[in-house]
Amino acid sequence: MKLKVIGGIVVLLSVLIAACQSDADQEFKRYYTGGAAIYKQKCQNCHGNNGEGLTSLIPPLTDTTFLKKNKNYLACIVRNGINERVLTINSKAYEGPMPANTDLAPIQIAKVLTFVTNSFGNKQGVITVDVVEKDLEGCQ
């Protein structure tokens, strides 16, 4: 009898854990696939099919270190563009400006950043719309 109860609890827990995981998986998939479409439309021309960038004009999106270090600044880059006099990535300097994307809503920025930070060799997990909204408040 006791064993049955314990068995029941184990089964119940496994079901609950599986349900939670698939919720998280689904959220990730939703962000990632939406982001892939936005990337194609808004970013791919410059940053390339595989995030490889373009010579010394456009920086690559394959540099996990830069993307991790600037995780909470990425939303500002996408929304407002960036024109650092010299942006150094993988010890290479890039000087061209990136244009702003003022037409992208926070949810679209969250999706495209989830795509970028989980493609091209990156694996950072979901960047949610809540995080993006908070990050955007800190843009200078």
Q: Tell me the window of 6-14, 19-27, 58-66, 124-132 that interacts with ligand HEC (CB under 6 A).
A: 58-66
Q: How many CA atoms lie within 13 A of 25 on its CB side?
A: 6
CA 50 to chain centre: 15
The yes or no reply on residue 71 touching ligand HEC (CB under 6 A) is: no
Provide the Cα torsion 44, 31, 102, 124; round to 10°.
-70
CB closer to ligand HEC, 28 vs 66: 66
> If binding means CB under 6 A, how many residues of this protein chain bind ligand HEC?
28
Q: Tell me the window of 4-12, 24-32, 43-51, 128-136 that interacts with ligand HEC (CB under 6 A).
A: 43-51
CB 67 within 8 A of CB 103: no
- CA dist 84 and 92 (Å) reads 13
The yes or no reply on residue 75 touching ligand HEC (CB under 6 A) is: no
Report the nearest approach of ligand HEC to the CB of residue 98 (Å): 3
CB closer to ligand HEC, 97 vs 121: 97
CB 34 within 8 A of CB 116: no
Report the nearest approach of ligand HEC to the CB of residue 69 (Å): 10
CB-neighbour burial class of residue 88 (10 A; exposed 0-12, middle 13-18, buried 19+): exposed
The contact set with ligand HEC (CB under 6 A) reads: 42-43, 45-47, 58-61, 66-67, 74, 77-78, 82-84, 87, 89, 94-99, 101, 112, 116
